[in-house]
Homo-oligomer: A and B are copies of this chain.
Amino acid sequence: MTYRFDGYNWMIRLEKGEKLISSLTALIEKEKIKTAWIYGLGAADQVEIGFYDLEKKEYEWKKLDKELEILSLQGNISLIDEGPSIHIHGTFSGGDMQTFGGHVKDLTVSVTCELFLHNWFSSDGITRSLDKDTGLKLLDL
């Protein structure tokens, strides 16, 4: 992972073999990022995505081990008790250009992954708290 900060936003490059969530977590901790909106594109060769089952209050996970274009990543960084929270949804395509997507549990970069972080301009970050109705940690706004 290499990255640059322009005073407001972060531009990040992940290398082949790096994982999205652990790379972002390392960046967040090193640079003390509290809250930001995340965008990204690139390629991956391992993707684990989920679909939230609201009745069961748990994710159904699906793992894909093949070359994929990352068409779009969108999500955000916020704060929970245990540390940073990273919430990202992704759209991907295979060699047939067909797409699929879901809540990104994690992905392993293939070729490259380019991320843009739009910083939240406030000294105190935005937190998440457990919402009992949905079983998920929702943004405290």
Q: Are A136 and B116 in contact (CB under 8 A)?
A: no
Q: Are A89 and B41 in contact (CB under 8 A)?
A: yes
Q: Are B16 and A134 in contact (CB under 8 A)?
A: yes
Q: Are B67 and A54 in contact (CB under 8 A)?
A: yes
Q: Bits for A93-123, please: 1 = Cβ < 8 Å to B, else 0.
A: 1110111111100000011101010101110
Q: Are A89 and B71 in contact (CB under 8 A)?
A: yes
A interface, by DSSP: helix, strand, loop or mixed?
Answer: strand
Q: Are B12 and A121 in contact (CB under 8 A)?
A: no
A residues within 8 Å of B by Cβ? Answer: 2-4, 6-9, 11-13, 16, 35, 37, 39-43, 49, 51-54, 60, 62, 67, 69-72, 74-76, 87-91, 93-95, 97-103, 110-112, 114, 116, 118, 120-122, 126, 131, 133-134, 136, 138-139, 141
Could you name 6 residue pairs across A and B whose Cβ atoms are closer than 8 Å? Answer: A4-B126, A9-B121, A12-B141, A37-B39, A76-B116, A93-B101
The count of identical subunits is: 3
- Indicate which residue in B2, B122, B133 contacts A6 across the interface (CB closer than 8 Å): B122
Beyond known contacts A16-B134, A112-B136: 4 more, CB 8 A cutoff: A4-B126, A7-B122, A42-B89, A62-B97
